Amino acid sequence: AQSVTQLGSHVSVSEGALVLLRCNYSSSVPPYLFWYVQYPNQGLQLLLKYTSAATLVKGINGFEAEFKKSETSFHLTKPSAHMSDAAEYFCAVSGTSYDKVIFGPGTSLSVIP
């Protein structure tokens, strides 16, 4: 069975500062891991995904995430926050490409000018 925890339901950063959103997972098999973003009044869209290739995954809009098996983590980072990054971010896990995807509770990111 898979599960996801996201530390911090709300994170605030200043414009230009580092963004770090934390995700830890639990999986009985090698996981597939995802980050989705939800902008206000919109559905979710895929930011990036890890599927057992390179451990450092680059996504859209300058975001990247690193898979660390020893820490069971898949934290999302961006070197410099932009006002347009304000959104809800969801980490998700599945056991295979055919499995159900399990979503975390989400982290709301605010960017302060």
Partner 1 sequence: DVKVTQSSRYLVKRTGEKVFLECVQDMDHENMFWYRQDPGLGLRLIYFSYDVKMKEKGDIPEGYSVSREKKERFSLILESASTNQTSMYLCASSPRTSDTQYFGPGTRLTVL
Closest separation between CB of residue 89 and partner 1, Å? Answer: 11
Closest separation between CB of residue 103 and partner 1, Å? Answer: 4
Closest to 94 measured CA to CA, from 49, 43, 39: 49
Closest separation between CB of residue 98 and partner 1, Å? Answer: 7
| Nearer CB in complex with partner 1: 19/31 | 31
CA distance 91 to 102: 9
| Nearer CB in complex with partner 1: 19/91 | 91
Residues that bind partner 1 (CB under 8 A): 4, 9, 32, 34, 36, 41-46, 49, 51, 90, 94, 96-101, 103-106
| Nearer CB in complex with partner 1: 43/113 | 43
Closest separation between CB of residue 1 and partner 1, Å? Answer: 11
In the chain, where does DSSP find H-type helix? Answer: none
| Nearer CB in complex with partner 1: 63/90 | 90
Annotate 4-38 with b (16+ C-beta within 10 A) or e (fewer).
bebeeeebebeeeeebebbbbbebeeebbbbbbbe
Closest to 90 measured CA to CA, from 37, 27, 25, 18: 37
